[in-house]
Structure 1
């Protein structure tokens, strides 16, 4: 006999596993600090590469002006400004990455907790069915 409640739970669990749950389950394999730390390391490298590319494009665009006025420019203050802007961008993106990953980790943990709760309920349904089947087969053997 088909149990409609069991089928609904199994369908819901399968939909979660193949959809949002795939990412949630992979995130939940990490400790919170490890997940956020890994994201911050990725953020450092991506921000550094993006900033270097932006500087290359900017200096490529202003190359004629810079070659004509290189002798008049204060290269120390230009280098200082470049470093300060880099640090500000890195800190800003790191804060945003920390907030985003914290929220994402918390959301994934809630989703995984719900998933395991649903699995526990499904196991209880199976256990009840097994007990019923055991009682039915026990009656038949004794009769």
Structure 2
């Protein structure tokens, strides 16, 4: 017999698993600091690569003026400006990454709690059905036993 409540719970559980299985698994398998630091490291490398690509693009765009003023350039101040701008870009990017992944971690924790609650409800529905079917079986066994005794 199909129970509408159980089907509804199973559907909701399947939707949770389909849409946020990876996120739930990652958040549950890491400590908060490990989860966030992993993404900070990954995004730090990405920000560095993006900065270097941007620097290369700037160098290609200003190649003529760089070659013409090669003897007049102050490489020390230019290097310091690049380093300061790199640190600023990296700091802003990592701050945004920290905020985003902290929010994602807590959101995944809440989703995981909701998932566990749904699993408990489904388990209770199965236990309730098992209990009811046990009662029905017990009654039918008693009825058969009493019928058997009365015919003797």
1:140 CA drift (Å): 2.2
What stretches of structure 2 of length at least 5 have no aligned partner? Answer: 144-152
1:45 CA drift (Å): 0.5
Give 1:92-103 correspondences, 5 Å limit. Answer: 92-103=92-103
CA contact (8 A) 1:36 1:98 kept: yes
1:24 CA drift (Å): 3.0
Max radius of gyration: which structure? Answer: 2
Where has structure 1 moved over 4 Å in runs of 4 or more? none
CA contact (8 A) 1:13 1:115 kept: yes
Matched, 1:76 2:72: no
Matched, 1:105 2:105: yes
In structure 2, what is the Cα distance between the partners aligned to 1:62 and 1:32?
44
What stretches of structure 1 of length at least 5 have no aligned partner? Answer: none
The aligned residue for residue 53 of structure 1 is 53
The aligned residue for residue 65 of structure 1 is 65
Matched, 1:44 2:44: yes
Aligned residues: 142
The aligned residue for residue 120 of structure 1 is 120
